[in-house]
Each structure stands twice: as structure tokens, then as C-alpha cells.
A and B are shown apart, each in its own frame.
Chain A
């Protein structure tokens, strides 16, 4: 229980709906911690149990060693930024920021000093006497932050704070939030469905789905080493291969030696996978997956290398498959290719680090080779077929995108993973 903020086995049900199920998290002091997941995954409910607006059915919440589970919201040393900001429309910006201090009956001089400090921090001194209806969305956002921070909370709770802003403003506020966190140094608990926001701001992320914490880790851990197909598909783009482990063998990560010729005691940390329609694939196996077992592998689009001609034979740790380009989406800094390879439709991203116009580009219908290193595929602990729906596959027929998810699931097999 040494951690600053602890959720211990928190569950919350609404009627038959399990909003949060046995969620346990510990958050460090000063950390920028995100709860990330699709809508209805229970992230907001979990935040509201910390704010005090919901009482968990089971489990306890500890803040700074104190059990706050049964405290009403106004007795908790946490403050919330609401999705709609919830600024008091009848009060000026100044009075909104002063609200908490006035409730706490602080001396007038102190209130003035603190409010002015906050106004200076959010650079809105000249808007102090405007009403919320007279300021822009980004300004409301900043006032909401100031109104919460002026109370010096131990944790600042942010419930989708950028969701109401347009894209440009969202990107700017993202940077501002980061600056504010660096400046005030208090713990931030940030709830979002936007993986980009969570990845760019957070020290650590808890990915949630259906009321459960699916994975907890730094943004890089979650992106590079997803535990299951949900995390892999929800965070960024990915490709799944399904197969069975044909053989386990020892190898060295650098992969410069031929297979199985490592010196010393060989650790059996590589696996040869049998995947329908492909030559055997080599993949790093850090899981306790035995020979003959079924396994799913996630490979991020940027891990592939795409070749117009057959790549030079490298070594045994590089997988090579062939396919045909089905779709090319040029994005400036990079190009996204959809490559048909056997039953799979693979997403490949090529970063343009060289001057693109000097190259002969890869076009639609081109025959291509894809290579990737055995270390760049990541074996999943769990694989669920329905998580494929989270991947953004281009439609194969016009109108397909408007079909019901059930129809999408049927077509999904043609997409990223095996049928």
C-alpha cells in the first residue's frame, strides 16, 4: 500500500451492467497517468469513484495512505476537469476560479493573490471579468484547469478534457496540459478514448476494455509489447498472424548468427511458427508458449520493410513473404500500403527518410516482398477474433463501411488475420 494512489479491486455495477470489474491500479506521486479505452470501457466510472461521485460496489481507494472510499466528493483532496468544463455560467472567470477558495473560507487577500496567480499562469488576466459564455472553448478549458488547480489538489482528474475542442486547438491544449503538469508537478489522472493523447502525455497508461484493465505500462511498452489482441488493435495499427509453434530454438537477438548456433547454454527463446499459406515464420517467444500450441503474433505496420525486388538473402531471423499491393495511401511523411499476402491483408507503413521523388515508387498492383525481423513480431497472451474490428481496414467493396458490425466481423477474416 506504499503507493500514492491505489485502486484496490474496485468494481462498480449498474443493474446488470458491469462498468468496472476488479480494477486494481497504483499510481505514483507526480505521475501523469492515463485511463485509455473505447467508450463504455469503464474509465470514466473509475475516475468518478476517485472523485467521489460514484461509490464502488466492492474494493477500496487509498490516497496518500488514507482510505477515501467512503468520503463524499467535497471532502476529497482531488479536483476534476469535466468534459463539458462545467464552469458556472452565472459567475465571471475570476469568480469561477475563486469558487473553491471561497467555499473553503480562505482570507480575502489570499484568495485574490491565488486567483491572480492562476490567471497569470493560464494567461487570461484580461478575461477575468468575462462570463464563460463570452470566452472560447480553449479559454474555458484553461479556466477549468485553473479553477481546479487553485485548490492545490493532490490529484487532478481530467475527464476527456479535450474532447469538446476542434483538432487544431486540441493539439495546442495537449502541449499546454503537458506544460502545466511539468509546472505544478501534481498527479494527473487523465481519462481519454484518444490513444494519441494518452501516448503523448502519459508517464503510464492503463488500457481498459469492458470494465477491466487490459494492460498497464509506459506508452512504449503498451505499443511495442501489447499483451493481447485488444491492446494491439486499439493502440495504433497492427497486423495479426495466427499459427502454431512448430519448433522452439535458442537464438541471439542481434540475429547475426545462423539458427541454433549460439554459444553456451541455449535459451529457447525463438519459435518457428506454422502459418497457413506462408513459409515458416520466426518470432521471438518471451512467453511460455510450448511447441504445438496455437499462438497469435502482432506486427506493427512500420516494422515491415517493403521491397520492389526480391530482398537479398539475409539471415534466418528475417522473415520474407510475398504479396501484391492493393491500396496505397500517401501521407507525406510516410506511405501506407495494404498488401494482399495469401489470406491476409497487411498494413505496411513506409517512412520516407529519403527524397521520395528520386525513387521509383511502389504502385497499386505491384508485386512486393515484405521482410521483418523475428524480434519485431510480438506474441500475444490472448487473442480474440472480435478485436479485429478495432483495426482500421479499408473497405473492400463500396458501401461496406456502412454495414453493421456483425457483417464487418464476417468480412474481417479477409482482412488482417486468418479466416
Chain B
């Protein structure tokens, strides 16, 4: 065996465990979900024999367009808010002294050490009609005593931003940390005011981080289920809730699978688009790797 072939063989050997893992636990289930969407349901909650397009047709339910629309706009707004909040945060983190930076980064990831569910229930306590936030807002005359803070789209959005924010901060910080801050000085030197320099030099400089933050926040947001289930009401249901209902309440797996497939398509489509754009850019620029979260810590 020549060295090139041996090298190739060792590469295959080294990467095959992760490939097998991905194939068995990611690719196969995804294909199964798509396949089940074309199966009939049985009354016992099982999957029937044969193939049918009935389930797909049932997606024409007039409730769905409103829910899909709500899922998309909530995700878009939550993602935008996360990026808007995380960008200055990433900037200041990157400029901080390393000792300080470690402390703040620790604070950013500290919530992960508490159960996700507990944190969302904590928000429920805060936003409760007798909760501290409500009382504070009423005391400040920012809300009337009859305002409800819970069980609406606003509450869902707030808690979604809260849960997703670290996933935006980390990749943006990772990119900002690699950013050459002399570029900001160069922009100012060439006549750009500080805000102008920020948008002309810093934002393009961290665009890989912004893109990663977008994917890291937008995709999980689309699939949100727990947040709207706990702090949302019937008017703020998202597609994730519908999928759960079809699975656990109606015990109609093909219907749930069809909804899941529709959501997966909604996620994959923009991702393919982004990947294509990035590949085009990567050809132009070298050394602009995707910053991983690990790299950020």
C-alpha cells in the first residue's frame, strides 16, 4: 500500500465512528420521520400498513397557516433580539481584560447549570399576576393591574430570548475575540465616526459569528415546544406544541411526523441557502473558519 492510500484509509478509519453515529442516530431517524408522514395512522396510535397522502392533505387544516406564521415570526424576532443584544456583549467581552472576561463568560453560561425547566418555571413565577415583575410594573405605572404578562406571545418571546441568548453570545464573542481591533482604529483613522466604524469594520469582521449565532438561535427557536407550552397560552402556540399534541394527545404519529417534516424542511431550506452563500465566500477568503462554542470558552 502506498502512503497516500494508507493515509486515506486511516482517515476513513478515524472518521467512521462519528459517521456511523450520525447515520444511525440522526440520518436514519430523520428519514423515518419523513417516511412515517406517508403512512396511515391506526386507531391504537400505531402506524398502519401501506402508503397514503391523507396525512399530508390534513396539513391543510386552516389552523396551521396561523401557527406556522406565528412560529416563524416569533423565531425571527427572538433571533433578531438575541443578535442585537449579543453583538455589543461580544464586543465588550472581547475588549475586556482576560481575567474579567473569564468571569463574565462564566456568568453567561451559569444558567446552564440549572435545569432548563426550572428556569422556565421561574419565569412563570416572575410573570405571574402576583409575581414580582407585575407588581413592579404596576408600581411604576407601566402596567395596569389588569394586564396579564403570562400566557401570551410576549411572554413566549421574552423567555425564548432569555433561553437562547447565550447561544448567540458565545459564537459572536468567539468571532469578536479573533477580530483585529486595529481595523476599528483604521476605520476611524480613515474618517469614520465610532458608530460608522463599528458597522463598517466590526460587523463585517464578525459576520461568521453572526451567521453562526443566527443558526444557533433560529433553528432551536423554530422547534420551541417547552417555552410556549409553559409560559404561552392558546393564542401563542407554536408548531412544536402541535407536534406534541398530535403525538401525545391524538396519538397520531403520521400526522406528527408530517408536521415535523414540514418544520424540518423549513429549517433545512434556509440552512442550505446559508451554506451555499458561505461556500462562495470561503473561496474568496482563507482562514475564516466557523468559530465553535468550544473555541469561545
Give the B-binding residues of A (Cβ under 8 A): 51-53, 72-74, 78-80, 82, 84, 86-91, 99-100, 103-104, 131, 133-134, 147-148, 151
A73 to B183, CA, bound (A): 13
Min CB distance B169 to A, Å, is 22
Q: Which residues of A contact B200 (CB under 8 A)?
A: 88, 99, 103
Give residues 100-134 of B contacting A (CB, 8 Å): none
Given that A89-B285, A131-B285, A133-B286 are contacting pairs, would A104 and B191 also be in contact in the complex, using a CB cutoff of 8 Å? yes
Contact A90 B182 (CB under 8 A): no
Given that A86-B180, A86-B182, A90-B204 are contacting pairs, would A151 and B285 also be in contact in the complex, using a CB cutoff of 8 Å? no
- Asked if B251 lies at the interface with its beta carbon under 8 angstroms from chain A, I say no
Contact A133 B186 (CB under 8 A): no
| A82 to chain B: closest residue by CB | B182
Can you list the 9 inter-chain pairs with the closest CB atoms, starting with the nearest? A100-B190, A86-B186, A90-B204, A73-B188, A86-B182, A103-B191, A80-B189, A74-B188, A74-B191
A89 to B282, CA, bound (A): 12
Q: Which residues of B contact A99 (CB under 8 A)?
A: 187, 190, 200
Q: A74-B191, A133-B285, A151-B190 are in contact. List 13 more A-B contacts (CB 8 A).
A: A52-B188, A53-B188, A73-B185, A74-B189, A74-B197, A82-B185, A84-B180, A86-B185, A90-B207, A99-B187, A99-B190, A104-B191, A151-B191
29 of the cross-chain contacts (CB-CB < 8 Å) are A53-B185, A53-B188, A72-B188, A72-B194, A73-B189, A74-B191, A74-B193, A74-B196, A78-B189, A80-B189, A82-B185, A84-B182, A86-B180, A86-B183, A86-B185, A88-B201, A88-B204, A88-B205, A89-B183, A89-B205, A90-B204, A90-B207, A91-B204, A99-B190, A100-B191, A103-B191, A103-B196, A131-B284, A134-B284
| A144 to chain B: closest residue by CB | B186
Contact B190 A147 (CB under 8 A): yes
Q: How many residues of B contact A (CB 8 A)?
A: 25
- Asked if B60 lies at the interface with its beta carbon under 8 angstroms from chain A, I say no
Contact A103 B201 (CB under 8 A): no
Q: Which residues of B contact A53 (CB under 8 A)?
A: 185, 188
Min CB distance B297 to A, Å, is 25
Interface string of B163-202 (1 = CB under 8 A from A): 0000000000000000010110111111111101100110
Contact A133 B287 (CB under 8 A): yes
Q: Which residues of B contact A147 (CB under 8 A)?
A: 190
| B189 to chain A: closest residue by CB | A80
Contact A103 B207 (CB under 8 A): no
Min CB distance B25 to A, Å, is 38
Contact B186 A82 (CB under 8 A): yes
A86 to B205, CA, bound (A): 12
Min CB distance A106 to B, Å, is 11
Most chain B CB inside 10 Å of its own CB: which residue of A73, A80, A91: A73
Min CB distance A266 to B, Å, is 58
| B183 to chain A: closest residue by CB | A86
Min CB distance B288 to A, Å, is 8
Min CB distance B265 to A, Å, is 32
Contact B191 A88 (CB under 8 A): no
Contact B189 A51 (CB under 8 A): yes
Q: Which residues of A contact B285 (CB under 8 A)?
A: 89-90, 131, 133
| B201 to chain A: closest residue by CB | A88
Min CB distance A354 to B, Å, is 51
Q: Which residues of A contact B193 (CB under 8 A)?
A: 72, 74
| B286 to chain A: closest residue by CB | A133
A141 to B284, CA, bound (A): 20
Min CB distance A145 to B, Å, is 13
Q: Which residues of A contact B286 (CB under 8 A)?
A: 133
| B179 to chain A: closest residue by CB | A89
A89 to B288, CA, bound (A): 10
Q: Which residues of A contact B204 (CB under 8 A)?
A: 88, 90-91
A131 to B288, CA, bound (A): 13
A267 to B204, CA, bound (A): 70
Q: Which residues of A contact B189 (CB under 8 A)?
A: 51-52, 73-74, 78-80, 148
Give residues 251-297 of B contacting A (CB, 8 Å): 284-288
Contact B186 A80 (CB under 8 A): yes
Q: Which residues of A contact B182 (CB under 8 A)?
A: 82, 84, 86
Q: Which residues of A contact B188 (CB under 8 A)?
A: 52-53, 72-74
Which residue of the partner chain, among A79, A84, A133, A134, contacts B190 with CB atoms under 8 Å? A79
